[in-house]
Amino acid sequence: MGARGAPSRRRQAGRRLRYLPTGSFPFLLLLLLLCIQLGGGQKKKENLLAEKVEQLMEWSSRRSIFRMNGDKFRKFIKAPPRNYSMIVMFTALQPQRQCSVCRQANEEYQILANSWRYSSAFCNKLFFSMVDYDEGTDVFQQLNMNSAPTFMHFPPKGRPKRADTFDLQRIGFAAEQLAKWIADRTDVHIRVFRPPNYSGTIALALLVSLVGGLLYLRRNNLEFIYNKTGWAMVSLCIVFAMTSGQMWNHIRGPPYAHKNPHNGQVSYIHGSSQAQFVAESHIILVLNAAITMGMVLLNEAATSKGDVGKRRSKSLC
């Protein structure tokens, strides 16, 4: 039975081969070539991505923020493939630009990038770079950017959205605020480590020493401690500092003023009701102090019993 069945199966296979359409062979060959080409293209893309990531890691090993010109920007940020996020600060640090805000923002940006570089969570999914106006003018023109500094996040896929541009005018450029924004955009949490600064400790120690020395020298006459006018002046200084927004400046770290890079005009008052400049808080402090002084003089003019001319001059002031 096995010997007879074998020829029968061979005849059936031969019939199937004879009935196979001859036009299917070119189609199968074309499909095979297409698969090979797609596989080769995918492998080439993977190799290109690996080269880009390797180059970025090499730059990051040298410095936490690497500078980019137009060619590097287009190759490593705009051109695919890309599986990493890139934080870019667009700035103008050349001395002839006279951008003091750019220098202050660069210091905070350096603190943030160094905190990421030396953290245990450092990986090849997030990089920090910088484009200076004098080194990448074409990049500024390509992005229609007319102000500096500006922080932008370029995601691994797709184009940056509106939220990928950091709201510098409203939030400020403190490293902690930048880290919070990066965590919202990339899910990468960076713990900011600031270099030790002992100036505050030294100033506090000097103040305590001065006050202690003054109390020691006048230990036999401490009636000035009960001086109501002195304590009132101290209280007013605290009130002026708080009502002018000094605590907001300390938390948000806004720039002192803003200089328009096109016409050079300096703005001391912020255009938004959600933010302010440091100079604006100083102006408010002076105005509040002037109003308070005027109210005190009016009260003195009305309640004092001195010379009429002096009372009148106080009321006019």
- Give the domain ranges of the chain: 38-186, 223-315
Please state, in angstroms and rounded to a whole number, the distance separating the CA atoms of residues 77 and 99.
26
Say which residue the tokens 């939220």 belong to. Answer: 163
8 A C-beta contact, residue 258 and residue 267: yes
Nearest Cα residue to 182 out of 154, 159, 157: 154
Return the pLDDT at 178: 94
Return the pLDDT at 212: 85
Return the pLDDT at 116: 93
Return the pLDDT at 36: 61
**Kind plus residue range of the DSSP H or E element containing 106:** helix 100-117
Return the pLDDT at 2: 46
pLDDT under 50: residue ranges of the chain: 1-3, 5, 10, 12-20
Fold for domain 38-186? Glutaredoxin (3.40.30)
Please state, in angstroms and rounded to a whole number, the distance separating the CA atoms of residues 136 and 114.
24
- 152, with CB counted inside 10 A (0-12, 13-18, 19+), is middle
- Phi then psi dihedrals of residue 130, to 5 deg: -145, 140
Please state, in angstroms and rounded to a whole number, the distance separating the CA atoms of residues 108 and 101.
11
Return the pLDDT at 312: 63
